[in-house]
């Protein structure tokens, strides 16, 4: 039955002609075959946390929310259903003595949705979540069930690990996992100059490190995560000026616990976001210009903060960390405030520094601008035409994103 769809931030609304929640792979196949025969589009949706129009369709919107849970687990791998939410997955793996190595800032997403856009956390040693995917099972645009792994259709693996939902409905994924362990989260504030001066050291001496910059105060909040069973990280957290200012004294220990309860945060306040992935060497100049422009042009209207994280290089064709160690910059804006002028101005800076957009967040790029940013772009498009020859998953939004370059 059809009903209006509204994404998490509220900026994407539409009414599909139909909404389906299949219970098994046969029902998924039937939905695809029916859409193909009727010449309508079909879009898979996870938990609706993307704010780019990846899931918008006037055809059928399909959620695999009923197809969730851990199917099979071994020492260092777990096979899970595509509709599983990260939060439940974290608990399920924990009960089995396992854990995903890294996560993003929240755990509301589905695993298929999160990996479809290259959702990432932070840490020099960690790729995005798609890099944790070792096998994928999907129902393609022809209604076929295809298994992709290092031994089955291996040529498709670099395409299906991050697919924007245009290669098929991902019903099952196998993830690289670890034995569970505990992390300790800390946070403290410091002047932005201090954080930038010490950034490389902070990134190298902590398992995970990121920072928020607050344009209103021009201060930063540094956040670190380290294994609880290892000695505390170095005590380099602030300079004398900071300590004497009375604003901070030393890092606050926020939480210690299993990875899936320590890495993600609760996000009650709704926001819009643009995030670009930069070659790490371009970060200092890019951030300097972001800061200069925000302070000179946008401080009056910018209500919130800018987040800086790192992602390890990978070899996934549409990954925004493809082939390069990456530093990401995201600008967040409360949903009650206008964002477009601000985000477009930031996008211009990010692009000048070789940035690639986060697929699930606001950006204004189309295929012609995206193709030169992804060395294996044409290989991905060839895989797409092979797995979805009739364009069942290709809405006008996705055609603008992927075709005609
Ligand atoms: C509060 C908040 C915090 C966030 N934090 C981070 C962060 O820390 N790091 C980061 O990188 N991103 C972050 N994001 C972005 C978010 O992780 C991505 O937009 C992610 O793709 C959303 O997952 P979802 O399950 O909501 O999928 P949706 O947004 O519903 O869909 C995303 C894509 O996945 C596809 N898809 C969904 N299910 C399937 C399936 N079964 N088979 C095939 N394709 C499928 C869809 O078609 C679409 O292309 C955040 C977003 C919000 C709103």
Pairing of strands 70-73, 77-81: antiparallel
Token pair, residue 352, equals 């000048």
**pLDDT value at 9 more than 70:** yes
Mutation probe of ligand 1 site: the residue of 129, 335, 360 with most atoms within 8 A of C-beta: 360
Spatial separation of the C-alpha atoms in residues 132 and 247, rounded to whole Å:
39
Model confidence pLDDT, tens digit, residues 157-171: 999 999 999 999 999
Q: Does domain 64-179 have CATH number 3.20.20.70?
A: no
pLDDT at residue 384 in the model: 98
The pLDDT value given to residue 73: 86
Q: What is the pLDDT of residue 238?
A: 45
Give residue-wise pLDDT tens across range 280-321.
999 999 999 999 999 999 988 887 899 999 999 999 999 999
How many Å lie between the centroid of ligand 1 and the Cα of residue 115? Answer: 7
Summarize pLDDT for 255-269 with one digit per residue, the tens: 899 999 999 988 888
State in Å: Cα 49 to ligand 1 middle.
5
Enumerate the domain spans of the chain: 64-179, 182-262
| Pocket test residue of 28, 32, 35, 119 for ligand 1, highest count of atoms within 8 A of CB | 119
Region 84-98: mean pLDDT is 96
Which pLDDT does position 47 carry in this prediction? 98
**Which atom number of ligand 1 is nearest to the Cα of residue 169?**
42
Pocket of ligand 1 (CB under 6 A): 8, 43-50, 54-55, 64, 82, 104-106, 109-110, 112-114, 116-117, 119-120, 164-165, 169-170, 267, 358, 360
CA of 179: how far to CAs of 91, 130, 182, 224, in Å? 13, 19, 10, 21
Query: For atom 33 of ligand 1, which residue has the closest CA?
Result: 113
**pLDDT for the residue 1:** 60
Rounded mean pLDDT of 146-165? 98
What average pLDDT does this structure show over 379-387? 98
Q: If pLDDT is split at 50, 70 and 90, which confidence band does 248 have?
A: low
Query: Mind spelling out the 3-state secondary structure of 49-69?
Result: CCCCCCCCCCCEEEECCCCCC
Instruction: Please say if the pLDDT value at position 250 is more than 90.
Output: no
CA gyration radius, the chain: 21
Please, which residues bridge with residue 169 across strands? 139
Look at 59 and 74; give whichever has higher pLDDT.
Answer: 59
Share of the chain above pLDDT 90, in %: 85
CB-neighbour burial class of residue 79 (10 A; exposed 0-12, middle 13-18, buried 19+): middle
**From the CA of 46, how far away is ligand 1's center (Å)?**
7
pLDDT, position 302: 84
* Phi, psi of 358, deg, nearest 5: -70, 130
- Residue 17 pLDDT > 70: yes
Mean pLDDT of 189-204: 93
**With 90 as the cut, is the pLDDT of residue 366 above it?**
yes
The helix-helix angle for 283-293 and 340-352 (nearest 10°) equals 150
User: Cα(206) to centroid of ligand 1, in Å?
Assistant: 27
Pocket test of ligand 1: the residue of 117, 131, 132, 321 to mutate, having most ligand atoms within 8 Å of its CB, is: 117
Per-residue pLDDT at 145: 98
């Amino acid at each position: 039955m059809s009903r209006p769809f509204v994404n998490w931030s509220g900026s994407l609304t539409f009414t599909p002609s139909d909404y389906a929640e299949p219970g098994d792979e046969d029902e998924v196949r039937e939905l695809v075959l029916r859409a193909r025969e009727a010449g309508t589009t079909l879009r898979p949706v996870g938990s609706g946390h993307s704010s780019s129009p990846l899931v918008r369709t006037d055809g059928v919107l399909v959620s695999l929310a009923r197809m969730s849970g851990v199917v099979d687990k071994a020492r260092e791998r777990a096979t899970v259903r595509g509709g599983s939410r990260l939060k439940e997955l974290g608990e399920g793996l924990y009960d089995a003595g396992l854990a995903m190595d890294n996560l993003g800032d929240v755990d509301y997403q589905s695993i298929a949705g999160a990996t479809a856009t290259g959702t990432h956390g932070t840490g020099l040693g960690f790729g995005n979540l798609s890099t944790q995917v070792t096998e994928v099972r999907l129902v393609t645009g022809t209604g076929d069930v295809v298994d992709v792994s290092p031994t089955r259709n291996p040529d498709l693996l670099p395409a299906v690990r991050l697919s924007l939902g245009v290669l098929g409905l991902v019903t099952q994924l196998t993830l690289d996992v670890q034995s569970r362990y505990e992390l300790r989260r800390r946070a403290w504030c410091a002047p932005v100059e201090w954080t930038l001066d010490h950034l490389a050291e902070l990134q190298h001496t902590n398992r995970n490190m990121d920072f928020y910059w607050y344009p209103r105060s021009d201060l930063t909040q540094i956040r670190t995560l380290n294994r609880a069973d290892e000695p505390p990280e170095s005590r380099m957290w602030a300079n004398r000026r900071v300590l004497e200012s009375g604003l901070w004294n030393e890092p606050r220990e926020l939480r210690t616990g299993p990875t899936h309860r320590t890495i993600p945060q609760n996000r009650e306040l709704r926001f819009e976001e643009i995030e670009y992935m930069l070659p790490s060497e371009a970060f200092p100049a890019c951030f300097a210009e972001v800061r200069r422009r925000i302070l000179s042009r946008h401080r009056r209207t910018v209500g919130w903060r800018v987040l800086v994280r790192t992602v390890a290089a990978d070899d996934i064709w549409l990954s925004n960390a493809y082939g390069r160690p990456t530093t990401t910059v995201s600008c967040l804006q409360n949903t009650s405030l206008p964002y477009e002028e601000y985000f477009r101005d930031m996008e211009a800076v990010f692009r000048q520094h070789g940035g690639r957009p986060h697929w699930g967040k606001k950006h204004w790029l189309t295929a012609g601008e995206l193709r030169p940013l992804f060395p294996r772009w044409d290989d991905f498009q060839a895989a797409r035409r092979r797995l979805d020859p009739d364009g069942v998953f290709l809405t006008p939004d996705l055609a603008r994103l992927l075709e005609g370059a």
